[in-house]
Amino acid sequence: MSVQAGTMLLERHAPGPRPVYAPGVEEFVGPLRADRVGRLHRTEAEASTLLETSFFRERETFDLLRETILPRMIANNAAERRLRIWSAAASTGQEAYSVAMLIREHFAELAEWDVKIIGTDLSGDAIEYAKRGRYRRAEVNRGLPARMLMKYLARDDDEWEIHPGLRSMCEFAEADLCMPLPELPQFDLVLLRNVLLYLPQAGRSYALGSVSRQMAREGVLLLGAAEQAEDSTNLFQAEFAGECCYYLAVG
């Protein structure tokens, strides 16, 4: 671990309880080396995940969902009237709730469908935060149009709470993409954005393999704008729409 990386880990903290702190890199790494039960390793792994997120992050992705991907899925799944969407690095929940808002706003026909958005993240603290569905001023200020704020969140004290109708569309659970996954359904759409950037190649391959096994036939994978599934071309086929790229599960 570089001094810079160690310093970053010491400085950053997740919402909720603060992680273990140490005054310097050696003091931080030493207990990790001696950590037999893995408690500190878990804390370190959670701290090293980046919780940076916002509502409607990378707007082009949501345009792509609205204009191309969701209409196609609705046509494909018209018989069973069911959609399963996975926000695979859900952080504090804004991505999952943004997808729910997009569906409510633009796809009224899905109100009668069985639609579930499942958000998972390595960080238990982030998942607890997502489950609360309550956001602070700095969070609703980011990426969320004022009209959507009015329509889908209710002010309560110093926070804004996601409306129950949207919350009922979303479920959250802990999952580590670099470990065997908990029981999850087959997904029609997976958002795995801004995660692969931070994984070594072996981790990227493992995560993409796990994700591909959770995808339904003709399922779609969306990565972050700066990510490509270049080392998993046997699992996914790239499709292009304007400046955006998405991936179809192969097989």
Partner 1 sequence: MRALIVDDSRFMRAHLRQLLERIGVGCAEAADGLEALILLRGAEEFDFMLLDVNMPRMSGLECVKALRDAGLHSAMKVMMVTTESDNSFISSALEYGADEFLMKPFAPESLREKLTMLGLAA
Those residues with Cβ within 8 angstroms of residue 160's Cβ, 6 or more apart along the chain or in another chain: 134, 135, 140, 149, 153, 154
Of the residues 146, 164, 243, 251, which one makes contact with partner 1 according to CB under 8 A: 146
Which of 6, 15, 19, 143 is the binder for partner 1 (CB under 8 A)? Answer: 143
Which neighbouring-strand residues pair with 240?
245
Q: How far apart are CA 71 and CA 83, in angstroms?
A: 12
Q: How far, rounded to the nearest angstrom, does the alpha carbon of residue 87 sit from its chain's CA centroid?
A: 4
Q: Is 41 in the site for partner 1 (CB under 8 A)?
A: no
When binding is defined by CB under 8 A, the residue of 140, 169, 222, 223 that contacts partner 1 is 140
From the CB of 151, what's the least distance to partner 1, in Å? 10
Q: How far apart are the first and last CA of the chain?
A: 39
Q: Which is nearer to partner 1, 140 or 229 (CB)?
A: 140
Cβ distance to partner 1 smaller for residue 93 or 219:
93
Residue 150 one-letter amino acid: M
Residue 142 touching partner 1 (CB under 8 A): yes
**Stretch of residues binding partner 1 (CB under 8 A), selected from 66-74, 139-147, 163-171, 198-206:** 139-147
| Range in contact with partner 1 (rule: CB under 8 A) among 11-19, 82-90, 112-120, 145-153 | 145-153
Contact status: 243 vs partner 1 (CB under 8 A): no
User: Nearest 5°: phi and psi at 159?
Assistant: -125, 170
Residues 47-106 interacting with partner 1 (rule: CB under 8 A): 54, 59
DSSP state letter for 198:
G
Question: How many CB atoms neighbour CB 122 within 10 A?
Answer: 22
Q: Based on the shown chain and the rule CB under 8 A, indicate whether residue 149 belongs to the binding site for partner 1.
A: yes
The distance of Cα 108 from the centroid of its chain, to the nearest Å, equals: 24
DSSP H helices, 117-238, are 124-132, 137-140, 146-152, 164-167, 201-213
By CB under 8 A, residue 138 contacts partner 1 = yes
Q: Does the protein bind partner 1 through residue 147 (CB under 8 A)? A: yes
CB nearer to partner 1: give 36 or 59: 59
Return phi, psi of residue 87, to 5°: -95, 95
Q: Residue 185, interface with partner 1 (CB under 8 A)?
A: no
Please give the C-alpha separations between residue 181 and each of 124, 184, 214, 248, in angstroms, as whole numbers.
15, 8, 10, 21
Contact 177, 89 (CB under 8 A): yes
Minimum distance from CB of 141 to partner 1 (Å)? 4
181 or 225: whose CB is closer to partner 1? 225
Q: How far is the CB of 93 from partner 1 (least distance, A)?
A: 18
- Residue among 185, 183, 94 nearest 142 (CA): 94
> Does residue 163 bind partner 1 (CB under 8 A)?
no
Residues that bind partner 1 (CB under 8 A): 54, 59, 137-138, 140-143, 145-147, 149-150, 154-155
